[in-house]
Structure formats: C-alpha cells, structure tokens
Chain A
C-alpha cells in the first residue's frame, strides 16, 4: 500500500473513523490492528518477521533491565543484536556477502551452495530494526526503562505511518505518546491534513516529474553528452529530496491525524551551509541514530586518539549510513565520500571561520550553500550508479564534451521548473522566514483554505499519476 495511492487514503480514513469513535483506552489496539492489516496488505510473511522482532526484543528489554550484573546485561544485549542484525543481514546482505567472498575463491562452491535466489527484502525492515536496536541500547545504557506494556511496545514498532519509510523513531519521543490520546483535536486534523497535501505535492508534482527526465537520461547514458549529464545530476538531488521528504511528510501528517507527533526527518537540507550541517538536516532520524549509537560511543572510546579518533569514528559511521541503503560497493563509496567531506570540514574549521569574517555574509553563505549542494549532487551519482558498467558509462559521458542539451519534452522541463521553484521557495521561507513572512499562517482560515485547495488542484493538474516508485522503499 503505497502512501500516495487511493487505497492508502481509504484505509487511513477508515482507521481514523474507528479510532475516534473508540474510547481512549482501546485506541492503542485500534492502531495495532490497523497496522497489522496495513502490513498484511503489503505482504503477509512480513508480519511474521516483525512479530518475531517485537516479541523477542520485548522480552530481552525487560531482561536487560532486570539483570544485576553488567556481564549479564551485556549477554542479553548481544543476544538482541544477534537476532536483530541477523535478520537484517540475512534479508539484506546475505547474497551480496556471498558474491563478494566468492570473488576471492576460484571455484563456485560458495555461489552454488549458499546463494539464495528468493530473498526478498521485507519493506521497512531497515527502519524498524534500527529503531528496535536503539530501544535496546537505551535500556542497556540506563537512559530508559524497558516498556512493560506489550501492546504499547508492539505499537511502538508497528505504527503504520512510519512502518515502511520511517522516521526511525526513538523510545523517548514515541512511547510516551502512545496511550495519551486527545478526545478529538482539530489542530491535529488540520496540521496533519496540510502536511499530507504538501507531501503529495512534493512526491507527485516535483519528484516524479523530475524522475521522468533523470530516468530518461540514465537509462540511455551512452547516447547523452556531458551537459545533459550535468543537468540530470543537478536535478537528481531535488528529486530524491522531494521524493523522500514527500513520503515522510505523508507519514508524519498521517500520524498527526491521530494526535501523534513523529520526529522531524528533514530540515531544508538543500540550504545546508556545509556537509556537517547537511547531515543534521537530511534523513535526520537515521543520521542522528548513527550519531548517537555509533559515532558518539566510538569517539568517546577513542578519545585518546585525538582528532584521528574523530576521523576513525566518522569513517565507520558514514560507511554504515552508506551500507544501510544497500548491499553494494557504490553505497560504501558513497559513505566514504561523505566521511571525507566531514573530515575536510573538521580540518578546515578555523580557516573557514576566518574566511567567513572577511567576506560579506550574503556572498559567503550563498557560496557555502551552492558548494554544499554541488557536493551532494555529485556524490549522489555514486549512489545512483549501482554497478561498474554504469560507472564506466558516466566517465565516458563526462569526457564526451558538451553538445546539444537533451530536453525530452519541453513541458516536462516547465513542470520541473515550476515545481522546484515552489518547493525551494517554500523551504527558503521556512529556513529564513520571520513570522511576518509566514503569510499562510497569518491571514486566517479562508486564505489557508484557498491556498491548500489550489495546491490540491495543482497536484491534479501537474502530478505524475502513472508509475513513479519511491526510491527509499527498497530499504
């Protein structure tokens, strides 16, 4: 059930009705049942996996808390990691690992006996496994008590708006909210509705339209020239941003309709001033998870290594972020590139600070934003090129010199420009806007109603309704 589909909205409305007609004490169960129905609709076997993860971690969480000795706590921690990571590695990385090890052996023994043909990655697995690991680590560190209420814990993992595409929630944020429901809060309904509409705009009007062009270029790379490739490269980050943040907005908006506040996942990332800043604004739930559970512990443990300890921690963290996306080498390289940029940031911090004092703010900031965007855009080329022949094609294209820019249909370009301008302007306002620029909020409900109805109609006029799959579903 893709969240831009009609089925999803029918499901959402039905769940909302049942939810608000139910007494507050039963509402967790309503959401649990709805989430199970949702996940079963996607695929029944996925439900078995998630229920396994839920039940084992529920028990282990309590055991860790009840353990007297650190040794015992650690044993339980390892058990939980074994189960969680074992499941994740099996579904996601097994075949890739076998293939890579086989590169070192002359025969196909491994390939013939260990490659499994039918491993299909359950949707949402990477998201909820990480969420569960975070929960267990919080208990292990003593920053949180285990959740004794099984239904509450189940809902914490199962909650359908965030199930397929995140955000990767934290116990601190989500658990307390489950059970404390308002009777019926119109602010929630309005805010949720607005977010959903905006998410649909980003996904259907901006992301899917750009992908028509970018896919056309990438599917036939050898026949394009360098200038076309550059245009596609500059458009692709906007596509990925609109795509992922669009789906996230629909998720957060859907949750909001139930009165639940999920965590922010994007914070105008295209306006980041440097790569460190960028990773505080992009896929925040993943990057802050890695920062809290991997980066910070490593950096603290290796504090005697000085700044090399930080470099070491950055490399590991970003390789993990890269590999979270998929089981191939291009994701590893993507991670290393990001780490390199952050190391650069680290080493040049003082230099850049001095530079910023000598150049007028507007110029320095604009350049910083543009450079950061260009960096991200070109690093995404690695992300999108999933095999070696693709990489060869790209190098070939870049050396081919400029020629006539490939436009495909002029109307596609026009739609792309209009959609991107609306999106970037809105983000610009969110980033720099003081309240008086926040026109939409100030003028009262008629203005808002008009604005959002025009937005809905523009989605119908300019959205891409045929095809267009979410990039981040495959994680």
Chain B
C-alpha cells in the first residue's frame, strides 16, 4: 500500500477517535510529543491502527516511532 494512502487512513482514524474533524496529519506530525503518564490516547491510536490494518507491532518498533511518518512506514512494512 502506498505511504500517502496509509497516512490518509491513519488521519481518518485520528478524526474518528478524537471526534475532531480538523485534524490534519503529515509525515512529520509528532507522536513522540505524547506527555508522560498521559498515554491513554496514544494507546488507543495504536490499537485502532492495528485493528484497522490487521497488524501487530513489536514493542521495540513502537518505542522507536518518532512521528506519523515512522508509524505509517511501520504499517507499510507490516503489510508487506
């Protein structure tokens, strides 16, 4: 699957999850900005993405994602 398509889909997931139509994600959008102790949202995003694409990430992969671009590339790799 193409990277841009993935990013668009992830964007849709964000909008649905946070009930916020105005969210626009780009490759550089920062997911590592998630604050300490406040990661419930972060986890919900990950599980939603995993569910939609029917994939499962490893711990190490998730820890090394710095931004949306990394996340989407990870998805791309999983999809083969």
Residues of A within 8 A of B (CB): 141-143, 276, 279-280, 287-288, 291-292, 295-297, 299-301, 303-304, 307, 309-310, 314, 342, 346
B33 within 8 A of A: no
Q: Is the interface of A mostly helix, strand, loop or mixed?
A: helix
Given the known A-B contacts A141-B64, A303-B46, A303-B47, are A297 and B59 also in contact in the complex, defined by CB atoms under 8 Å? Answer: yes
B62 in contact (CB, < 8 A): yes
Residue pair B40, A303 in contact (C-beta under 8 Å): no
Chain B residue contacts of A141, Cβ below 8 A: 60, 63-64
| CB atoms of B35 and A280 under 8 A apart | yes
Q: Which of A279, A300, A307 contacts B63 (CB 8 A)?
A: A300
* Nearest-CB residue, chain B, relative to A275: B37
Counting chain B CB atoms within 10 Å of each CB, which of A303, A314, A346 scores highest?
A303
Is there an interface contact between B59 and A301, defined as CB atoms closer than 8 Å?
A: yes
Contacts A279-B36, A292-B36, A300-B43 known; list 7 others, CB within 8 Å. A280-B37, A296-B39, A299-B39, A300-B63, A301-B59, A303-B43, A303-B46
Residue of B nearest to A140 (CB): B60
Residues of A within 8 A of B46 (CB): 300, 303
The answer to whether the Cβ of B38 comes within 8 Å of any Cβ in the partner chain is: yes
Q: List 10 A-B contacts (CB under 8 A).
A: A141-B60, A142-B64, A276-B35, A276-B37, A288-B36, A296-B63, A297-B63, A299-B39, A342-B37, A346-B40
In the bound complex, do residue B40 and residue A307 qualify as a contact, i.e. CB atoms below 8 Å apart? Answer: yes
From residue B30, how far is it (CB to closest CB) to chain A in Å?
16
Residue of B nearest to A288 (CB): B36
- 8 Å CB contacts to A: which residues of B32-80? 35-40, 43, 46-47, 59-60, 62-64
**A310: B residues at CB distance < 8 A:** 39-40, 43
Q: Which residue of A lies closest to B60 (CB)?
A: A141
A297: B residues at CB distance < 8 A: 59, 63
- Collect the chain A residues with CB atoms within 8 Å of residue B38's CB: 276
Contacts of A304 in B (CB 8 A): 47
- Roughly how many angstroms separate A299 CA and B46 CA in the complex, as a whole number? 11
Interface residues on B, range: 10 to 19
Q: Which residues of the partner chain B approach A295 to less than 8 Å between Cβ atoms?
A: 36-37, 39
Tell me if A291 and B64 are in contact (CB < 8 A): no
Of all chain A residues, the one with the shortest Cβ separation from B35 is A280
Q: Using Cβ atoms and an 8 Å threshold, which residues of chain A touch B63?
A: 141, 143, 296-297, 300
CA distance A232 to B8 in the complex (A): 57
When distances are taken between beta carbons in the complex, the residues of chain B under 8 Å from A314 are 37
Q: Shortest CB–CB separation between residue B7 and chain A, in angstroms?
A: 22
Interface centre among B37, B46, B64 (most CB of A within 10 A): B37
In whole angstroms, how far apart are the Cα atoms of A442 and B39 in the complex? 39
Among candidates A143, A279, A301, residue contacting B37 with C-beta atoms closer than 8 Å: A279
Pick the contact of B43 from A143, A279, A287, A309 — CB < 8 Å? A309
Question: Do residues B59 and A300 form an inter-chain contact, with CB atoms below 8 A?
Answer: yes
Q: Are B43 and A299 in contact (CB under 8 A)?
A: yes
Q: What separation, in Å, do the CA atoms of A171 and B53 have in the docked complex?
A: 35
Set of chain B residues within 8 Å of A342, measured between Cβ atoms:
37
A280 to B46, CA, bound (A): 23
Chain A to chain B: the 8 pairs with minimum beta-carbon distance, closest first? A291-B36, A276-B37, A303-B43, A303-B47, A141-B60, A300-B62, A310-B40, A280-B36
A386-B32 Cα distance, complex, nearest whole Å: 39
A276 vs B46: C-alpha distance in the bound complex, in angstroms? 22
Name the B residues within 8 Å of A301 (CB-CB). 59
Residues of A contacting B43 with CB < 8 Å? 299-300, 303, 309-310
Kindly list chain A residues whose C-beta atoms are within 8 Å of the C-beta of B36. 279-280, 287-288, 291-292, 295
Smallest beta-carbon distance B9→chain A, Å: 19
Bound Cα distance A314, B40 (Å): 11
Which residues of chain B have C-beta atoms less than 8 A from A143's C-beta? 63-64
Complex Cα gap A307–B39 (Å): 10
CA distance A90 to B43 in the complex (A): 36
In the bound complex, residues from chain B placing their C-beta under 8 Å from that of A303 are 43, 46-47
By a CB distance below 8 angstroms, the chain B residues around A296 are 39, 63
Interface bits B15-42 vs A (CB < 8 Å: 1, else 0): 0000000000000000000011111100
Q: Which residue of B lies closest to A278 (CB)?
A: B37
Residue contact A291 to B59, C-beta cutoff 8 Å? no
Closest residue of B by beta carbon distance from A311: B40
Question: How far is it, in angstroms, between the C-alpha of A301 and the C-alpha of B43 when the chains are bound?
Answer: 10
